[in-house]
Structure 1
Amino acid sequence: MAEATQLNFEVIDVTLHTGSVIATDKETLLGGAMTGKIREVLERRGVIVFPQMNLSDEEQIAFTHTLGTFAHEAGEGNDGGDAVYPITMDETINPVAAYLKGAFYWHIDGTMSDRPIFASVMSSRALAAEGGDTEFCNTYAAWDAIPEDEKRQLESLKVKHAFWRSQIYWNPEPSHAEFQNWLSRGSNTLPLVWKHRSGRKSLVLGATALQVEGMDLTESEALLVRLRDWATEPRFVYRHKWGLGDLVVWDNTGTMHRAMPYDHNSGRLMHRTKLEGEETFA
């Protein structure tokens, strides 16, 4: 159902649980007057699409600032200034593109940190001829739909996450040197169920999830796979087919996402900015 806030700002929910399209213009988007509404929709729906906004890098950075604190991460800065980060498989553009191959599997950004980024902002600059969609699942809605008796069994569980686990998905036989490099990126033990300061709860899963504490490996893997299947059922998922110039924002604290396969020589290019985390895993 469409919700008309003002003439140049209309919110349209595109699936039952996940994803909204906002029809607006650059002036409204960059002016910041609708920031509160955008953040409310973001928490409620997980993903917002602004079709064919065609923002410049400077405009994307300015828009990101309207939503919160701009996140500066290792390798993403520009001599300390604000910059967009290129998402591409072209190593002439992004020398560490190989690490991005983990993004083809369901994940949450920042599981190696106690306070992950709040949200990502991404715009499309070049598209693959085929493939390259992005899927998002709503981990708030997935948790809410779990039967109450099972919730009681899950709420106290903790899960060890490791960066190397996400890389094994795409490279199951790394060299020892490569594996040691992955190990250097760290591990972290997190709650399976994130109790947010808002009072809502969401599942913390994804490709970095290694093992549930107190369970043997097989039992743990069975639970993590089952919950991933549950959270990524079609009713919780929005799949975005990119148009050139689209701007997409997603709540990293209440969704998982993954890129869909495409030809890595296609020239597909996305520009990403991020917002600093505002709460710790708890």
Structure 2
Amino acid sequence: MNTPNAERYEVRQIKPLIGAVVDSDKATLLSGRHSAEIRGMLEDRGVIVFPQVHFTDEEQVEFTKTLGKWVPEMHGDVFKISMDKTVNPQADYTKGAFYWHIDGTMQQVPLFASMLTCKKKAPVGGNTEFCNTYAAWDALPDEEKARLDGLRVVHSFVNAQLYVEPEPDLALFERWRALGTNELPLVWTHTSGRKSLVLGSTADHIVGMDPIESRHLLVRLRDWATQERFSLSHTWSVGDAVIWDNTGTMHRAMAYPLDCDRQMHRTKLEGEEAFA
């Protein structure tokens, strides 16, 4: 029989190659007793859902700290993701989240993980989709792995923003261009020895390849990595928390009415290894 102080902690897989649900009470998660297991699940499952745990901002930060080194946001402990500019002055930039991406491809050391909690959900749409780029690499034929390993990709803020604003004026384009580029491996060999694909909306072109052939390969690999068996779509309920391994997944938000009051709060964990 359950008692008021009984720990609740149950884990189940969502799909064979991605996702887990941890059904737990808040106190158990905040205690850190299962932190090592949760970290292990992040690499193995990519995405972990904590249904309707209803963290406050302070509790979300506290839980994030049990899993690694918490990184404060630019304007506070959490980043309030909203299309309302009175809530999120970076709303225009946030529109880039509607396209597949990895956080941190403009740095040498990307975030280890990010967590979102749902404060207000969209009336329609607004799911967050994830794909497992470890599993996508593992499933490629050996001959293709041999062709891809060693290729380099130039990433740019320009490429990501062209998804949002395909015909910028020159002044806007030059502001994007000023943020520079970053050359990364197409195939990331992690310190664990595992490999994952480094793709997403910032991927501009493959070094030394014909531009059209380069674009074709990047689109084909994105379609491969985001196919049904490697991906999942999370339908939000208020109070849900979702954390994902930013080094082995891509993610994107699905469309929703931009004038609605959808609001997510994000915390993040500092990167622990460089792209290699």
- Identify the TM-score tier after normalising by the shorter chain: over 0.9
CA distance in structure 1 between the partners assigned to 2:9 and 2:37 by the alignment: 10
What do residues 170-189 of structure 1 show as CA deviations (whole Å, max 9, x unaligned)? 11011222112212222100
Equivalent positions of 1:117-156 (< 5 A) are 117-156=111-150
> SS at the partner of 1:14?
strand
AA paired with 1:176? L
CA offset digits 1:66-97 (Å, max 9, x no partner):
11111235xx233xxxx110111111111111
Matched, 1:256 2:250: yes
CA distance in 2, matches of 1:77, 1:69: 18
TM-score (norm 1): 0.94
Would the aligned equivalents of 1:71 and 1:117 in 2 still touch at CA under 8 Å?
A: no
1:138-182 superposed Cα distances (whole Å, 9 cap, x missing partner): 000000000001100000100000011111001101122211221
- Cα pair 2:128 2:251 within 8 Å, conserved: yes
Return the alpha-carbon distance in structure 1 between the equivalents of residues 182 and 171 of structure 2: 21
The one of 75, 85, 94 equivalent to 1:77 is 75
Structure 1 alignment gaps of length 5 or more = 1-5
Q: Secondary structure at the match of 2:222?
A: helix
Where do 1:1-282 residues align within 5 Å?
A: 8-73=8-73, 76-78=74-76, 83-282=77-276
TM-score (normalizing by structure 2): 0.96
Cα pair 2:72 2:78 within 8 Å, conserved = no
How many equivalent residue pairs? 271
For 2:179, the aligned partner's letter is: R
Displacement after TM superposition at 1:7 (Å): 5.5
Q: Distance in 2 between matches of 1:174 and 1:90?
A: 22
For 1:19, what is the secondary structure of its paired residue?
A: strand
Counterpart position of 2:3: none
The runs of 5 or more residues in structure 2 that have no matched partner are 1-5
2:52 touches 2:239 (CA, 8 Å); kept in 1? yes
For 1:3, the equivalent position in structure 2 comes to none
SS at match of 2:66: helix
Amino acid corresponding to residue 227 of structure 2 in structure 1: E
Distance 1:22 1:276 in 2: 23
Q: Percent identity?
A: 57
